[in-house]
Amino acid sequence: MLEIKGLTKHFGGLAAITEFDMSIDRGEVVGLIGPNGAGKTTMFNLITGFIPPTRGHILFEQVDITGKGTHAIAAKGIVRTFQQNAFLPDMTVLQNVLTSCYLHPKSGVWEAIFNTPGYRKKEQNALHHAMEIIEFLGLDSVSDELAQSLPHGYQRLIGIAIALSASPRLLLLDEPLAGMNANEVNETLVFINKIRSVGTTVLLVEHNMRAVMKICDRIVVINFGRKIAEGFPQEVKRNKDVIEAYLGVGENAA
């Protein structure tokens, strides 16, 4: 579904990502892990077109999307969430989700100005779609609250809700569990499983290793911008390079 070939990104003299290859199949949940500063978020920014790569290609369903604009990539079905709580703070949860249903039924400026019946129908559909997503993520009890007034756990879910309402086929989750308590983590894992079960492919960046091991079909490990390991969770866990990357090499090792 997604294929990354020889992806390289330099920031000035700094090589953030070097010759990175990876692929994701339809319906998978793939984990992208690595120490802080390894280049995980840079990968997300490259895949979603926030920054252009220095070299290499990104193919989505056999189509080259390298260098395309973020909105165009989102329209093709790749949607991301953000590491920080990113939502529209001055809007209610419902308005947040409704706004992002924008992609779903496209309506033009003129239709909106003249409030045509077709436009009203689309508005109805968008509302319906938004309510579905809100119920899906269990946000219905707070749907009329201002997004900025909600506790952290809810705000992370709003981020996911916004992404889901753009009807992604590949969902990129950037540390969705960050700052959540054990209870919220478990609930969110249930949601991720549900998202997978409706046929959405997921690429997950996360530091919570227990959760990653539990939910991912496959894991890719990145360090200093290079892929150092790839495989099933159990394989990766035992990989020597991975252990080194995470724990460091001792003074008297080797």
**Distance, CA of 234 to CA of 209 (rounded, Å):** 12
**Which of 8, 23, 83, 107 is the binder for other proteins (CB under 8 A)?**
107
**Distance, CA of 4 to CA of 254 (rounded, Å):** 34
**Which of 18, 41, 66, 100 is the binder for other proteins (CB under 8 A)?**
100
- Give the neighbor-by-neighbor strand order of the sheet with 201-205: 78-80, 170-174, 201-205, 29-33, 218-223, 226-231
Residue 79 binds other proteins, judged by CB under 8 A: yes
Nearer to other proteins, 48 or 66 (CB): 48
How many angstroms separate the Cα of 230 from the Cα of each of 70, 234, 254?
27, 11, 23
**Distance, CA of 43 to CA of 64 (rounded, Å):** 16
186 C-beta neighbours (distance < 10 Å), count = 13
**Distance, CA of 83 to CA of 173 (rounded, Å):** 8
**Which of 7, 58, 126, 205 is the binder for other proteins (CB under 8 A)?**
126
Number of residues that bind other proteins (CB under 8 A): 36
Nearest to 9 by CA among 66, 59, 64: 66
Residue 131 binds other proteins, judged by CB under 8 A: no
Q: Which residues have C-beta within 8 Å of that of residue 161, sequence separation ≥ 6?
A: 93, 96, 97, 100, 133, 134, 137, 139
Coil, helix or strand at residue 6: strand
Stretch that binds other proteins, among 58-66, 107-115, 200-208, 224-232 (CB under 8 A): 107-115
Residue 142 binds other proteins, judged by CB under 8 A: no
**Distance, CA of 69 to CA of 194 (rounded, Å):** 29
Residue 209 binds other proteins, judged by CB under 8 A: no
Residue 236 binds other proteins, judged by CB under 8 A: no
Nearer to other proteins, 90 or 241 (CB): 90
Residue 136 binds other proteins, judged by CB under 8 A: no
Residue 91 binds other proteins, judged by CB under 8 A: yes
**Which of 70, 83, 143, 239 is the binder for other proteins (CB under 8 A)?**
70
Nearer to other proteins, 72 or 249 (CB): 72
Residue 95 binds other proteins, judged by CB under 8 A: yes
Residue 102 binds other proteins, judged by CB under 8 A: yes
What's the token pair of residue 20? 């990175």
Residue 71 binds other proteins, judged by CB under 8 A: yes
Residues 9-48 that bind other proteins (CB under 8 A): 48
